[in-house]
Structure 1
Amino acid sequence: MSSYEEENDSKFMRKAKENPFVPVGLAGFFAIVGYRLYKMKSRGDTKMSVHLIHMRVAAQGFVVGAMTAGVLYSMYKDYIVKPREEAKALAKK
């Protein structure tokens, strides 16, 4: 099946199944940004630029954490789970 025949929804779902931490990172990013924008009303005497910098750092930190967790999960699947399954398959033969 070529990429032109694949619909956008099914392509997104396939990519989300391959890399489950990408949607988690995006959701966390938007949740943090939304929360910090909501809390902007009650920031007190904090400057706007400082508030926005803190929001950016928190959102970036969550995304980097999700990416790191995704890489670790992928390495776990490739280097621990897959060799075990291959060893079990060879043992059955």
Structure 2
Amino acid sequence: MLFCFTGMAGFAAIVAYGLYKLKSRGNTKMSVHLIHMRVAAQGFVVGAMTIGMGYSMYREYWAKPKP
């Protein structure tokens, strides 16, 4: 559950950073800037989900106390 919140917080942070940098993007097209921000946000969320699933699998299969 913690990783879910981490993914959402990272997504919000990247979106906020992208909006902040929108005015100072130089001569980069708007569409290219938005694509880069979308890819960064999606990558952060997928990474957080992957780490969360790995941790969940670790707890379920390897760290479980033996009966």
Instruction: Give the TM-score normalised by the residue count of structure 1.
Output: 0.70
Structure 1 stretches of 5 or more lacking a match?
A: 1-18
Aligned-pair distance for 1:20?
A: 1.4
The match for 1:30 is 12
- Which runs of at least 4 in structure 1 moved beyond 3 Å after TM superposition? none
Kindly name which structure, 1 or 2, has the bigger radius of gyration based on alpha carbons: 1
Structure 2 counterparts to residues 34-73 of structure 1, below 5 A:
34-73=16-55
Which amino acid counterpart does residue 51 of structure 2 have in structure 1?
Answer: A
Give, in whole Å, the separation in 1 of the partners of 2:60 and 2:25.
46
Give, in whole Å, the separation in 1 of the partners of 2:14 and 2:31.
17
Q: State the identity %.
A: 69
Give, in whole Å, the separation in 2 of the partners of 1:47 and 1:58.
17
* Equivalenced residues, count: 67
Q: Where is the helix percentage greater, Structure 1 or Structure 2? A: 1
Give, in whole Å, the separation in 1 of the partners of 2:2 and 2:10.
13
Give, in whole Å, the separation in 2 of the partners of 1:70 and 1:37.
28
Q: Which protein, 1 or 2, shows the higher relative CO under an 8 Å CA cutoff with sep ≥ 6?
A: 2
